[in-house]
Amino acid sequence: MVDPLNDAPQVDDEFVFGPAELTDVVVAQRKAALSGIAHGHALSPRDPQPGEPVTLHMTAGPGVNAREAWCYYTTDGDNPRGSRGVAAVGAAVPFRVRYVAWDDLVWGFVTHFEAVIPGQPDGTLVRYLIECDGQYADGGEGSATRTPYFAFAVDAWRTPDWIHDAVMYYVMPDRFYPGDGRAWRQTGDVSKPMGGALRGIRDKLDYIQSMGFNCLWLMPWMAGPTYHKYGATDFYAVDPDFGAEQDLRDLIDDAHRRGMRVLVDFVGNHCSDQHPYFLEAKANPASAHRDWFYFGDSGEYVSFFGSGELPHLCHDNPETRRYIFDLARHWVREYGIDGYDLDYAVGPALGFWAEFGRAVREVSDDVVIFTEGVTTPEALLTFQGRVDGCQDFAWCQAARRTFGSGKLNVEQFERFLAGSDAYFPAGFVAPIMVDNQNMNRLLFVAGNDQRRLRVAAACLYSISRPLSVWAGTEMGMSQTVDSAHTDLNYIREATAWDAMNADTVAWFRRLGALRAEHIALRRGTRTPLVADAATGVLAYEKSAGADRCVVILNTSEAERTVTLAQLRGGQDALAGRPITDGETGGTIRVPAWSAAYVCVGA
């Protein structure tokens, strides 16, 4: 029997998806789903347009009587209710058997059902229940929440175009910069505040913009007892550790004047255990806020990973939902925030995010919403139509294993890239990165080899996705302690402004300029050319109309000579290496652990 918490060698020690990576855990989860009632948030289409009927898919395994199944739904925001085909609130539609299949995993028959909810007008939120054999499907499938309710939004919403060109700079305010003329409060204790401030971020906007970043992505600034502010005591306040409300307004306004967008991590799953509402609810079972949280009969409560410090909010409570939606609209309406990354989006049920997206878009049609949730690409697709997209941690992991630890060779990585290119639907926003504040810095994983970091960046900047860089990575920052064996504080050291690697900074600055210059890099189609595990060379062409760039990555310890027809007439825009034209194409020599962008056209 595998212990997913203690059998660490079975989980990648450079980046942890957690139990989701363990075969035994995956099998157990799928077996449980197939044995009972499972919906998996499976809709056709995933993102319904106004007037378009929606087909729901569900399965019933040998653990239930699969003779009949029903869907109860509402379109007015109320929670539906019904039983045995009779709707008490809302309407009822029957599920029809599509087919019955034998499944070895449960050693029994699994019945596949379909039901159709009629098309609805633009702006409708459809909330629904699924019943089979007197049991109700879990609307919290894939999340940390248990609820019987599912939901999807019907709208003609289109993701704002600007996000597809976004090069995001991800900043933890406390660890970034205290401000010109100000000293750090302290930098020796990684568990305590260090003194970074909103004014300090503003003072560095010239640097950030010079690096080619066109979007400033901030971690929370809301008032809370920790340095990272992911647990708020006042969701509407700017924490005085970071400055005043005017400092936030000045930072956002200055960024906007420069043509930069501003995003923030939105924490809608939990609050601090010092939040007044929680303290009141914990002390008084009769409190009006008791139902805002998940309390047990003995006073125990559900919290983030059971820590107790971050109690989960109850999203089935309409007042809680209204509070969170009002909060999200507030920062957009009053401060001009351009978008949200939804922190720990796998905490709330998907139906909550469908309603959240609709609420925020009431304020602005130019706001972007994507999620942070360390989960599989399969699970990410269930967010389609509810928000604009999700961070792709599977891409991050594959890149780290290729350029950091070397656990993947370039042939294996190319196969991953090909699958990734084809997997996500057009328009789905799936930002990528090579590290962030919740994992070891890539440079640390790469044995502090700056060359490996630079090659990883060359790959990152060539993919047609929004991308993010965790502040300090572009400077060549590493760390002193392996966070996989201690805690995350050790990867959140103060930004090393006095120890920047000049070559790495110049490399990232050049990558930013080239991505801005070439639409092929940021939006083009990727065509594989070379993936040779023996030589460590990976090459592909990015093309968009007349603009073409051939990306060559050398992941070996030897110089490699690459000859390709696509190189003829081009020039290495990244490092300026010469191209020699011959009968079979252009030839370039790429040093060990280096990269080239050979570009043709405008």
CATH value of 165-265+337-517 in 3.30.360.10, 3.40.50.150, 3.20.20.80, 3.90.580.10: 3.20.20.80
The answer to whether 564 and 585 have CB atoms below 8 angstroms apart is: yes
Radius of gyration from C-alpha coordinates of the chain: 25
**DSSP element (H, E) containing 516:** helix 502-517
Backbone angles phi, psi at 581, to 5 degrees: -85, 140
**What is the C-alpha to C-alpha distance for residues 255 and 259, in angstroms, rounded to an integer?**
7
**Confidence at residue 19, expressed as pLDDT on a 0 to 100 scale:** 63
Q: Where are the alpha helices (DSSP H) in 144-211?
A: 173-176, 198-203, 205-210
Average pLDDT over residues 193-209: 98
Q: Distance between CA atoms of 301 and 312, rounded to whole angstroms?
A: 8
Provide the pLDDT for residue 1.
30
Contacts of 552 (CB under 8 A, 6+ apart): 530, 537, 538, 539, 562, 588, 590, 595, 596, 597, 598
CB contact set of 238 (below 8 Å; sequence gap of 6+): 198, 221, 222, 223, 244, 245, 247, 248
Q: In b/e form, how buried is each residue of 174-193, taking b as 16+ CB within 10 angstroms?
A: bbbbbbeeeebeeeeebeeb
| pTM of the shown model | 0.95
Is the previous residue joined to 45 through a cis bond, with omega within 30 degrees of 0? Answer: yes
Taking Cα atoms as reference points, which of 131, 102, 108, 112 lies closest to residue 58?
112
- Which residues, in sequence order, are bridge partners of residue 286? none
Topology (CATH level 3) of domain 534-600: Immunoglobulin-like (2.60.40)
69-117, pLDDT tens digit by residue? Answer: 999 999 999 999 999 999 999 999 999 999 999 999 999 999 999 999 9
Give me the pLDDT at residue 287, please: 97
Looking at residue 26, its pLDDT comes to 85
Q: What is the pLDDT of residues 449-467, one digit of tens each?
A: 999 999 999 999 999 999 9
Q: How confident is the model at residue 25 (pLDDT cuts 50, 70, 90)?
A: confident
Q: At what angle do helices 318-335 and 350-361 cross, to 10 degrees?
A: 40
Please indicate whether the domains covering 36-154 and 165-265+337-517 agree at the CATH topology level: no
Report the distance separating Cα 569 and Cα 154, nearest Å.
50
**What is the mean pLDDT of the segment spanning 150-163?**
96
CA 507 to chain centre: 25
Closest CA to 156 of 310, 23, 51: 51
400-428 residue pLDDT tens? 999 999 999 999 999 999 999 999 999 99
Domain limits of the chain? 36-154, 165-265+337-517, 534-600
What fold does the segment set 36-154 form as a domain? Immunoglobulin-like (2.60.40)
